[in-house]
A and B are shown apart, each in its own frame.
Chain A
C-alpha cells in the first residue's frame, strides 16, 4: 500500500494550453480520494498523469516514496478502471483479468487462484468463459474492477467508471465500489463530475475548477463550509442560492433592504461594501422563528419531486430556490416568508469569490 503525493503538478498542452495549473495534494495511504469538477477542469488529466498515460509538464508525482514522473505506467504498480471499461474484446473474461498477471510472468496456478478469488468477490464466476460483448454494462464494469483487483496494486485509479451505467445500476455499483475499497484498503483516486458520487464515496473530496484545486476536505466539510462560491454552487443539489447583499455591521448583512444575521462572518468588513450571500435551498424554512432572520420571496412555480417540492422564484430580484417537504407549504403560494438560521448563511467576496467566514 502507498499514499500518493502531488507537488505543484502541471500539464501544459501544445499551444500553451494549461490544463492543470500547479496542483499539490497529499492522498493518505488507504484513503478514498474523489476528484470532482465540471468537464474540462483538469481532473481526468490529473488522474492520467498519476497513471502515467500523460507526461507531466512540471512538478512531481510520488507513489509511496517513489517519484514516478519518468516511470512507465506498467511499473507504477497501479490499476485503472476506465469509463468505457476498456476490456479486451477478443479475450474471455478470465483472460481479461489474467492478462496483467501473465505480462508480469506470474505462475499459472497463482493466476488462476487470484482470478477465481476476484471473480468470487465480484460475483462474476459464472461468466469467466464469456467474451465482454456477451455481458451487460454492469457485468462489464465488474470485470473491469476484477482486472484491477487481481493485480493487487498500490493504488486504484477510477476514471468516471459509472457514467456509462443507468441510474439504478450506478447507485448499486457505487455502494459496491465503496465496500470493496473498504475491504481491500487500497488507496483509491476516483474522478467524477457527479457530485452525489463524490459526496458518498470520498474520505477526501477534492473540488477542481479551471485546472486548479478549489477546496480539499471531508465531504461534510466541503458541504458545510465551502471555501469559494464555485464550490458552494457545485456541491449540493439543487445548487446554493447566491444573493447580492451589503455589509451592515459585525454579524449583519442585508439583501434588498432585508436584514440577515450571520454567525460565520469575517471581522472588520467595511459597512456598505458589497457581499454575496449564499443560502442552500434545503437550509431555508417557510415561516418565522425566534432568533432567525426573515426574507420574502415571490414564487414563480413549483417543481414536484415526490418527497420534496422545489419552489422557484425571486428574492430581492435574484433567482431563488427553496426545497421543502411536500405539503409543508401550499403549492399555490405566491409569496413566501422565509426564516434564515444565522449559522446557515455563507458569505463570499464578490471579487475574489472566496469565503468571508471567520478566520
Chain B
C-alpha cells in the first residue's frame, strides 16, 4: 500500500527533507566524490602538487601483484569469518533459545564481545597468541606446533579469522536469536508431532524459516569483514607478515597513509565503494523481496 501525504505548500516537503539530505551530502557524497576525483590525480613525491592522470592510478593498481594478493586475502578472510561466525552464532542461538536455567545471563554474556572495540579485541588476542608473550602459545607449542603468527602468514590469518569471528559472533547471535524467537512455537510443535526429530526439525523447518535472517547476516558480515576489521588487523598483524594478511581496506590505509600514494589509495577506495554498492544492491534485490515468509 502506498502512503501519500499532501502538503499545501511546495516549500515544506523540501524543508523536511533538508536535514537528511544535508547529512548524506556532507558525510557521504562530498567525501565520495573527492575520493573519485583524487583517484584521477597523481601527487609528486613531496606532496606539493598534483597532476591529472586519468585512469593511470587504476592501471597501475591492476599491474601490482600485491593488489591481487590483497583481493585473495580479503576473499579468504571474509569467507572464513562469515562462515565461522554464522555457524557458531547459530549454534549458540539455538541453544539459548531453549528454556534454560540462567538463560538470561548466558544471553547477556554472549553479547558482551560486541561492546569491545576492534583494536582492543586485537590486542587481547595478540596477548594470548603472541609467539613469545602469548599465554596460549606455550600449550600450542607443547603440542608440537611451531606457532608463530608474526612469521607464518597462515598462522597470522588464522589468528585474524579467530579474533574477527569472536567479535562478530555476538552480533549474529542477537539476530539469530530474534529470528528463532519469531518462528511460531506451534510450527515447531506441529513438526514434532509430524514425526521430525530435533535435527530434522532444524534442517527442514527452522533453518529454511531463518533464511531471511541468514541472508541478511551474510551481507552484513561480508561488509563487516571488509571494512570494520581494520582495527583488528592493525593491532594483531599490521597486515604482515610480508603483506600476507593485508586486505583491500588495509591496503588503502597502507598505501595512502603509510606509502603516501594518495591517488592509488583513492582508486582502491573507489573500487571498494563499487563492491559495497554491489553488495547492497544484492541485499535489496534478493533478501528484502524474495526470502520473506
Contact = CB atoms under 8 A, between A and B. Distances in A.
Interface of A: 51-53, 72-75, 78-80, 82-84, 86-90, 99-100, 103-104, 133, 147, 151
A82 to B, nearest CB: 4
Interface string B186-228: 1101111111110010001100110100000000000000000
Given A84-B184, A90-B208, A90-B209, A51 B193 contact: yes
B14 interface: no
A88 B195 CA distance: 14
B189 A86 contact: yes
A86 B195 contact: no
B190 A80 contact: yes
Contact of A74 (B197, B204, B209): B197
B187 A88 contact: yes
6 contacts: A74-B192, A82-B190, A84-B186, A86-B184, A86-B186, A88-B187
A73 B197 CA distance: 10
B293 interface: yes
The 5 closest A-B pairs by CB, nearest first: A100-B194, A86-B186, A103-B195, A74-B195, A86-B190
Which residue among A78, A103, A104, A151 has the maximum number of chain B CB atoms within 10 Å of its CB? A103
Contacts of B189: 51, 53, 73, 80, 82, 86
B194 A89 contact: no
A89 B209 contact: yes
A359 B195 CA distance: 48
B205 A88 contact: yes
Contacts of A84: 184, 186
Nearest to B189: A53
A152 to B, nearest CB: 13
B182 to A, nearest CB: 11
Nearest to A157: B193
A73 B192 CA distance: 6
Given A53-B189, A104-B195, 11 more contacts: A73-B189, A74-B192, A74-B197, A75-B195, A78-B193, A79-B193, A80-B189, A87-B187, A88-B187, A90-B209, A90-B293
A86 B293 contact: no
Nearest to A131: B293
Contacts of A83: 186
Contact of A103 (B184, B200, B211): B200
Nearest to A82: B186
Contacts of A52: 192-193
Interface of B: 184, 186-187, 189-197, 200, 204-205, 208-209, 211, 293
A88 B200 CA distance: 14
A179 to B, nearest CB: 24
A103 B190 CA distance: 12
A75 B194 CA distance: 9
Which residue among B191, B193, B204 has the maximum number of chain A CB atoms within 10 Å of its CB? B193
Contacts of B196: 74, 99, 103
Contacts of A104: 195
A52 B190 CA distance: 11
A333 B192 CA distance: 60
A88 B190 CA distance: 9
A21 to B, nearest CB: 23
Contacts of A78: 193
A89 B187 CA distance: 9
A217 to B, nearest CB: 30
B184 A99 contact: no
Nearest to A74: B195
Contacts of B204: 99
A99 B193 contact: no
Which residue among A83, A88, A104 has the maximum number of chain B CB atoms within 10 Å of its CB? A88
Contacts of A133: 293
Nearest to B291: A90
Given A86-B184, A90-B293, A80 B193 contact: yes
Contacts of B200: 103
Contacts of A80: 189-190, 193
B193 A73 contact: yes
A350 to B, nearest CB: 42
Contacts of B293: 89-90, 133
A352 to B, nearest CB: 39
A122 B22 CA distance: 59
A72 to B, nearest CB: 8
Contact of B195 (A53, A87, A90, A100): A100
Which residue among B192, B194, B293 has the maximum number of chain A CB atoms within 10 Å of its CB? B194
A84 B188 CA distance: 12
B259 to A, nearest CB: 51
Nearest to A144: B190
Nearest to B101: A14
A78 B194 CA distance: 9
A74 B195 CA distance: 4
A75 B204 CA distance: 19
A174 to B, nearest CB: 21
B194 A147 contact: yes
B239 to A, nearest CB: 43
B77 to A, nearest CB: 32
Contacts of B205: 88
Contacts of B192: 52-53, 72-74
A87 B190 CA distance: 8
Contacts of A151: 194
Contacts of A82: 186, 189-190
Contacts of B209: 89-90
A98 to B, nearest CB: 10
Nearest to A76: B193
A188 to B, nearest CB: 15
Which residue among B189, B209, B293 has the maximum number of chain A CB atoms within 10 Å of its CB? B189
Nearest to A51: B193
B70 to A, nearest CB: 39
A87 B188 CA distance: 10
